[in-house]
A and B are shown apart, each in its own frame.
Chain A
Amino acid sequence: MSTAIALHAPIEAASRAARSAPAADAARADAMEATLRALVDAVPTATLLFDADQQVRYANPAARVLARLCAPDKADRPLAVVGDWHPELLNSGALHLCSMHGSWSGEVILGVGRGQHKILLLHLSRVGADLFGMTVRDITQDSMRESELHARNAELEVAYAKLQGAQEQVMQSEKLASIGQLAAGVAHEINNPIGYVNSNLSTLQRYISQLFSAIQSYEAALAGGAGATEAESIRRKLDLDFLVGDVPQLLSESREGIDRVCKIVRDLKDFARKERSEDWIKADIHRGLDSTLNIIWNELKYKAQIVKTFGELPPVECLPSELNQVFMNVLMNAGQAIRDQGIITVTTSVAGERVRVDIGDDGEGIPPDVLPRVFDPFFTTKPVGSGTGLGLAISYGIVSKHHGTIEVSSTPGQGTLLRIELPIAQPR
């Protein structure tokens, strides 16, 4: 090969071996040498052989190419020592380490003029007493690709984190939106008991002052030595009989009102609890359904009867407040499907390793062309402003996260059935 510079060492080694061997062996060694040489010449990786003084004994054609890469402006310079490739190609530390350990690998970054850089992967190995082999691979492209990949990956990670944040926000705001839809009903439901408790307290205040004045009148009557007739007339004047009869009733009604407010607040808290996504617990599905029904009842009671048929359910491994959100979305839809008066059925049962929650209504039903799209994000048939179009999409996501299924079937004019199935235990 005309481009090869020299190949002394293996020849010497081979001829040393050949001296003590018969001529046939020598011929075989020569043939082997020629083969090896052809092999190394053909290797596309720059390969050099040099001695301890870095005098190059052999360099393959790929090494020539490398030399041009290292100094494109001086393509035809003589290449006698390793430093002729590039003064910084091989540092003495690397060579020292190679002498000690037999080999060394590492990357070098070389300035190759015009502001350009090359990143090279070097592999050194000691191949004889004072001989070293070196392969050099240009990994500039690889490493650029790699760093680009890293950059892309980092961008993707950032985007993913953003998406996750956005998803969480959307879920939370959907939850708030549905609570917002409930707010009027809940306000009404709280204002009613607060209204009569508040009014009853005013009445009680009046009663008490009447009682006080009755006591004063009695005292005065007693001090004046008055008899039963006078006491009776005071009693009648202040209508004490009525008052005595009404106070226990007033108190028990007021107590009932306060209990109702407490219950609404408790249900709301149960419902709106924001749990972390890792809070999987074994929970009673019926409790979630009940607390959701309690809240939504304020909204539904004016137009729907609810028929609950609860089966025996084992505790289900789930994220309870997320499931509550699913139940609420589905129940709200059921309520909205009913125009005037209707029935909503809530039925639970066990089906193998899964629990089943069927929520049905006898409302307007969903037209066949709309049915396949009900789980699509932002798909809504409600007027602008009264639905986010995310309710069922989010419900679908939540049920999928539970490795469950949610299916809808509907007959226009007759009603709709949503079937939610959830595994009792999450797959490990």
Chain B
Amino acid sequence: MYRILLVDDEPNILSALRRCLASIDVGELDGEALKVEAFTSPEQALERSEEQDFDLVVSDYRMPGMDGVEFLSAMMELQPAVPRMICSGYADRDAIIAAVNEVQLARFIGKPWVDEELAAAVVALLRPGSARARAPKALRAQAASARITRVEQDDDGAIVLRSDDPA
């Protein structure tokens, strides 16, 4: 079983993310089921993470009280190995770059997201081998380069994700 932790202050986002993740065929996860836990409060998510290990964390960036980077760096201390994703509509480039650098982000997915893209990213992070089988060529390219890479190339090309990306 794969455990995914979702954090977003908007409950409707959590519902939509759950539906999207439910569309992933267990066949792509080698028959493993997906167990999703969702929190609107990063603090509660951290509390839960003290007792439960996760295989993937997906967080919003802008949240009251604690932002996504703060949450993910706290998460890093609790569970250093868990791949970290941000899914956010916040388009500030500096914030994204900071997120990439500070919490060694595996993926940044912008809102609004494309379901197939998000599902492919999740599969790729959970089961690196099976993503290629699932995603059509175009999505594979997109998932492989992710948005982050494009942002950094725009800047000065200095930041690279490769070493931290389980894929």
- Interface residues, chain A, CB within 8 Å of chain B? 184, 187-200, 202-203, 206, 246, 249-250, 253, 256-257, 301-303, 341
Out of B64, B67, B88, B91, name the residue touching A301 (CB < 8 Å): B64
**B-side interface residues, number (CB < 8 Å):** 28
A339 to chain B, nearest CB (A): 14
What are 29 sample pairs from A and B whose C-beta atoms fall under 8 A apart? A184-B91, A187-B91, A188-B62, A188-B88, A191-B89, A191-B90, A191-B110, A192-B12, A192-B89, A192-B111, A194-B112, A195-B13, A195-B111, A196-B16, A197-B112, A199-B17, A199-B20, A199-B112, A200-B15, A200-B16, A202-B20, A203-B16, A203-B23, A203-B115, A249-B15, A250-B15, A253-B15, A302-B62, A302-B64
Q: Are B92 and A184 in contact (CB under 8 A)?
A: yes
Bound-state CA distance A206–B87 (Å) is 22
Q: Are B89 and A187 in contact (CB under 8 A)?
A: yes
A221 to chain B, nearest CB (A): 24
B35 at interface by CB-CB < 8 Å? no
Residue on A nearest B23 in the bound complex, by CB: A206
- Interface residues, chain B, CB within 8 Å of chain A? 10, 12-13, 15-17, 19-20, 23, 62-65, 67, 87-92, 110-116, 118
Bound-state CA distance A382–B17 (Å) is 39
Residue on B nearest A187 in the bound complex, by CB: B91
Out of B19, B23, B62, B87, name the residue touching A246 (CB < 8 Å): B19
Cβ of A184: which chain B residues have Cβ within 8 Å of it? 90-92
Cβ of B65: which chain A residues have Cβ within 8 Å of it? 302, 341
Bound-state CA distance A416–B138 (Å) is 54
Q: Are B12 and A253 in contact (CB under 8 A)?
A: yes
Known contacts A187-B90, A191-B111, A206-B23: A302-B16 contact under CB 8 Å: no
Bound-state CA distance A246–B15 (Å) is 10
Cβ of B90: which chain A residues have Cβ within 8 Å of it? 184, 187-188, 191
B19 to chain A, nearest CB (A): 4
Cβ of B13: which chain A residues have Cβ within 8 Å of it? 192, 195-196
